[in-house]
Amino acid sequence: MNATQRWRLDLAYDGSTFQGFALQPDHVTVVGLLREVLASTLRLDDAPYVVGAGRTDTGVHAFAQVVHVDLPTSAISLERPEHARKVFRGLNAQFKGRLRVTRAMVVRDDFDARRSARWREYRYLVLATKLPALAFADHWAWPVEGPLDLAAMNAAATLLCGEHDFRAFCRRAVDKSPDDPITRVVTSAAWRVHDDALEMSVGRAPIAKLTIRAQSFCHRMVRSVTSTMVAIGQGRLEVDEITRRLASHERAHLPAPAPASGLALVGVGYDDLDGGPSGRDVEVERETRIIL
């Protein structure tokens, strides 16, 4: 049996080009493409098994996803860092802009991208516009009718923080009953308004950005709380609707989840021993960084 070493790979990808993160037969997914290119580039007999920090739905982007994968020690030379960098630059070239390895390092054998993670952080962008949005805006934000009451939205975001049963805001797993709690711990959630300095929208509409961090998230949780808070910001729901739904666990008559395209995974937290957090808390060099 060939000796292997465990690699941590930090990834960024355009979610609009994938049908989700996890491997699915006959579908182009993040894990599927990563396994295929790794096997081809490193000339492996079998595609390697890839474990991610969390699954993103179809259309959801990532700037700081983290995976681990065990690769043969003979495939990437740690004694020649330039060789390792060349391997990952070659990988990125084959992804053609859909996916990019932004950071790579060898980690301890028992590192687990999912179980070792301390937190995950997402951001959601909402384009608050009075004018019709161009179609391309749908690829990076959710255009909604403004203006939005940001104070009310932040009051609602504060109510999400702490340990709660998020059944009203999550899609129930097929093996769970409606009575099974879906408990999650949200450590921070806040909205900020940014000017459209790059003029990506008609009339430079303000961009409302939600940043939310939790130990973990359940399926469609961020998109569901986002659509509810936007309805609060538009005056269609009261702030205390959040409290009522967390207590009742009922989803009926709440807005549909916000579109996937406005959502992005922007950070995953790890101990320093495991390379520290991914995302904006890391100084990322222009080229792939190999930490040995």
* CATH 3.30.70.660 domain range(s) in the chain: 119-265
What pLDDT shows up at residue 281?
Answer: 61
Q: Give the pLDDT confidence of 165-186 residue by residue, as tens digits.
A: 999 999 877 677 778 899 999 9
Q: In this structure, are residues 121 and 268 in contact, taking their beta carbons and an 8 Å threshold? A: yes
Alpha carbons 172 and 220: distance in angstroms, whole number: 10
Residues of the chain with pLDDT under 50: 285-286, 292
What pLDDT is stored for residue 283 in this prediction?
55
- Catalytic annotation, pick one of 26, 45, 46, 57: 57
Question: Which pLDDT tens digit goes with each residue over 251-272?
Answer: 999 999 999 999 999 999 999 9
**Domain covering 119-265 in this structure, CATH number:** 3.30.70.660
Q: Which candidate, 141, 126, 111, 121, places its Cα nearest to that of 217?
A: 121
57 belongs to the catalytic site: yes
pLDDT for the residue 292: 44
What pLDDT shows up at residue 230?
Answer: 98
Where does residue 195 rank: exposed (0-12), middle (13-18), buried (19+ CB within 10 A)? exposed
Residue 52 pLDDT? 97
Token output for 54:
């969390």
The whole-number pLDDT of residue 286 equals: 46
Residue intervals of the chain classified under CATH 3.30.70.580 are: 4-116+270-291
**pLDDT score, position 1:** 58
Per CATH, the architecture of 4-116+270-291 is what? 2-Layer Sandwich (3.30)
pTM of the model: 0.92
Nearest one of 270, 244, 268, 224 to 124, comparing CA atoms: 224
pLDDT digits (tens, 9 = 90+) for 128-168: 887 666 777 778 899 999 899 999 999 999 999 999 999 99
